[in-house]
Amino acid sequence: MPAEPPHSAPTDGPRHVAVIMDGNGRWAAARGLPRAMGHREGVKALKRTVQAAPRFGIRCLTVFGFSTENWSRPPEEVSDLMGLVRSYVASDLRRLEREGVRVRVLGRRTGLPADIVAIIDHAEATTAHNDKFLLQVAFNYGGRADIVDAAQRHIEAVLAGRATGPLDEETLGLGLSTAGSPPVDVIVRTSGEQRLSNFLLWEAAYAELVYQNVLWPDYGEDGLADVVEQYRNRDRRFGGRTAPVEAAAPALAAG
């Protein structure tokens, strides 16, 4: 990836949107359907969202497909979720490749079925040269595990004489599976739940959080339009102060 320019001004739209695609099960239950149907509709929503994102100036989309905690779901559901990767890549890789989308899968490969690892490696290799849009799918991913892995990589590099201590934020960031992607501007969670659930913990430091009441299978262009609108109305300070606050309340600002 090319070097990243500084963060966008507050009035700009987000360049990197990360999404916790929640509510597939509830969508299915509300229709008396098996959960697998909710996940299958979730894949359609993902395709709609990826296609709509560039229209809003978004350059990178990161989605939570399977967490390290999702292994605790019943085996049939875990198997359904693995099957989604097979069908998504089989049905969409050629189009993603053609449309300039680079696919990257975040998370641990260990523990995944061998054919899934091969599919992921193939999708990454086939699209590695694309630079119009970056689609990152977090799969067998946990934010804490990703930070531990980055720290472990550094320890190993120090022990092998390839790096020196002490560990700093920049070095740790380069060891994360998101290294090289633009800073996360906004994290969206659908279905009305309001928590991060171990998603992008490091990257969330200064991200805006947007919670939407829509269930993921119903998601698409309208949902993204609402995210962009909310984002543009946020005042991103990154720990600093902004001119309007000082102008509106000089006495407080001076204090």
Q: What residues line the site for ligand FPP (CB under 6 A)?
A: 21-26, 39, 42-43, 46, 65, 70, 81, 84-85, 88, 137, 139, 191, 216
Determine the residue with CB nearest ligand FPP: 25
Residue closer to ligand FPP (CB basis): 90 or 155: 90
Catalytic pick from 22, 80, 92, 146?
A: 22
User: Is 92 one of the annotated active-site residues of the chain?
Assistant: no
User: Is 80 one of the annotated active-site residues of the chain?
Assistant: no
Asked if residues 56 and 50 have their Cβ atoms less than 8 Å apart, the reply is no
Nearest to 42 by CA among 214, 177, 226: 214
Instruction: State in angstroms the smallest separation of the CB of 156 from ligand FPP.
Output: 29
Catalytic pick from 12, 70, 149, 218?
A: 70
Instruction: State in angstroms the smallest separation of the CB of 208 from ligand FPP.
Output: 21
Instruction: State in angstroms the smallest separation of the CB of 38 from ligand FPP.
Output: 6
Kindly report whether the peptide bond that precedes residue 166 is cis, defined as omega within 30 degrees of 0: yes
Instruction: State in angstroms the smallest separation of the CB of 210 from ligand FPP.
Output: 17
Residue closer to ligand FPP (CB basis): 22 or 146: 22
Residue closer to ligand FPP (CB basis): 26 or 236: 26
Q: What are the phi and psi torsion angles at 141 (to 5°)?
A: -115, 140
Residues taking part in catalysis: 22, 70
